[in-house]
Amino acid sequence: MSNQTHYAIYPSLRDRIVVISGGATGIGASMVEAFAHQGAQVIILDIQSSPGFELVQKLADANVAHTPVYYECDVSDVEGAVRPTAAKILERFPRIHVLINNAANDVRQLTPDVTLEQWDTSIAVNLRHQFFLTQSLLSGLLEAKSSSVINLGSISWVIPGRKVAPYNACKAGTAGLTKSLAHEFGPKGVRVNSIMPGAIATERQKREIITPEYEALILDRQALKRLLQPEEVARLALWLAADDSLGVTNQSIVIDAGWI
Ligand SMILES: NC(=O)c1ccc[n+]([C@@H]2O[C@H](COP(=O)([O-])OP(=O)(O)OC[C@H]3O[C@@H](n4cnc5c(N)ncnc54)[C@H](O)[C@@H]3O)[C@@H](O)[C@H]2O)c1
């Protein structure tokens, strides 16, 4: 069954400008596809240019209303990449309707092995970019009059976790950052929410993380006995971006098949 015939089409997303960090692969790429098929103009920021350009070509070949635009941008580099890229985006697209702060790096490391530099790197990619990309695109989010920021969090800091202390600290921070921004900019029409996924079977997760033993543990913990797919997270993002959720802000919404 094709996504385009089975799932919701949101007329309010047509022609909307949607910026997605980490949109070249994984959940981010699923969100890029989902928004592009809604007729939105998607802007992808990533460091993996080759899958980024392949995705742009795939959607161009699919004749979506607006071919996505790809910018190489290391979101952990605020002065050298985030600010200048945001300025270029705003020059071309002065109104930003949707910003999805999705890029992350969930590197596994035991706490005694984490160096100061690795801690700072984790904060830079997993949490700091969510703040500074939002700040850098703020004029566009305000210009749109009604806009939606979606920060990717995780259930990882709620469930027992090992070897991911810096990442989990960031993902807990995302929940607080979301609430703070929601109240600061709600009066100006900017909604800010977070999505907290559970275990999502992206290609990379299947390759590197979800061993048969871990899959058995996931399914044991979940109420639904199947692995969630990246497209399912993307469909939640569509709803949070569309006018169908205009009354929803300040929330962290869990999509984890009933794990927590
Ligand atoms: N997959 C899961 O099971 C899961 C679970 C909970 C939360 N999440 C969250 O969902 C989001 C997407 O997860 P995913 O599994 O697709 O991640 P992923 O690691 O597979 O993909 C992340 C994307 O971000 C990009 N990226 C990494 N560092 C970057 C940087 N410095 N600058 C720009 N782009 C960069 C990568 O190139 C990649 O395209 C993340 O925020 C993650 O923490 C994922």
Whether residue 2 is contained in a domain is answered as: no
User: What is the 102 CA–ligand 1 centroid distance (Å)?
Assistant: 6
pLDDT in tens, 168-190: 999 999 999 999 999 999 999 99
pLDDT confidence band for 3 (50 / 70 / 90): low
At 227, which amino acid appears? L
Q: What is the pLDDT of residue 1?
A: 42
In-domain check, residue 87: yes
What mean pLDDT do residues 203-216 have?
97
Pocket flag, ligand 1, residue 199 (CB < 6 Å) = yes
Q: What is the pLDDT of residues 42-66, one digit of tens each?
A: 999 999 999 999 999 999 999 999 9
Q: What are phi and psi of 201, to 5 degrees?
A: -85, 70
Ligand 1: centre distance to CA 159 (Å): 19
33 lines ligand 1 (CB under 6 A): no
| 3 is a domain residue | no
H or E element at residue 138? helix 138-143
- pLDDT for the residue numbered 146: 98
Task: Please identify, by atom number, the ligand 1 atom nearest to the C-alpha of residue 200.
Answer: 3
1 domain-assigned: no
31 found inside a domain = yes
Q: Which of 188, 161, 194, 164 is closest to 176 using CA atoms? A: 194
How many domains, in total, are found in the chain?
1
For 141-163, the pLDDT digits (tens) are 999 999 999 999 999 999 998 99
CATH code, 143: 3.40.50.720
Given the CA of residue 156, which atom of ligand 1 is nearest to it? 6
Determine the distance separating the centroid of ligand 1 and the alpha carbon of 25, expressed in angstroms: 8
- Buried residues in 219-249 as b, exposed as e (16+ CB within 10 A): eeebeeeebbebebbbbbbbebbbeebeeeb
Q: Residue 6: inside a domain, yes or no?
A: no
| Predicted pLDDT at 32 | 99
Average pLDDT over residues 244-256: 99
Task: Say whether 71 is catalytic.
Answer: no
pLDDT band at 5 (very low <50, low <70, confident <90, very high): confident
Contact 96, 17 (CB under 8 A): yes
Residue tagged 């802000």 (tokens): 249
Scan for tokens 């993902």, then name that residue.
Answer: 171
Enclosing domain of residue 194 = 11-255
- What is the mean pLDDT of the segment spanning 13-41? 99
- Which ligand 1 atom minimizes the distance to the CA of 30? 16
Measuring CA to CA, how many Å separate 245 from each of 48, 51, 170, 229, 251? 32, 31, 26, 22, 11
Which of 85, 105, 125 should be mutated for ligand 1, with most atoms under 8 A from CB? 105
Going through the chain in order, the beta strands assigned E by DSSP cover 17-21, 41-46, 69-72, 98-101, 147-152, 190-197, 252-255
- Residue 85 belongs to some domain of the structure: yes
Q: What is the pTM of this model?
A: 0.98
Active-site annotation holder among 70, 71, 167, 214:
167
pLDDT tens, 111-148? 999 999 999 999 999 999 999 999 999 999 999 999 99
Q: Is position 135 within any domain? A: yes
User: Tens digits of per-residue pLDDT, 64-110?
Assistant: 999 999 999 999 999 999 999 999 999 999 999 999 999 999 999 99
188-198 pLDDT per residue, tens: 999 999 999 99
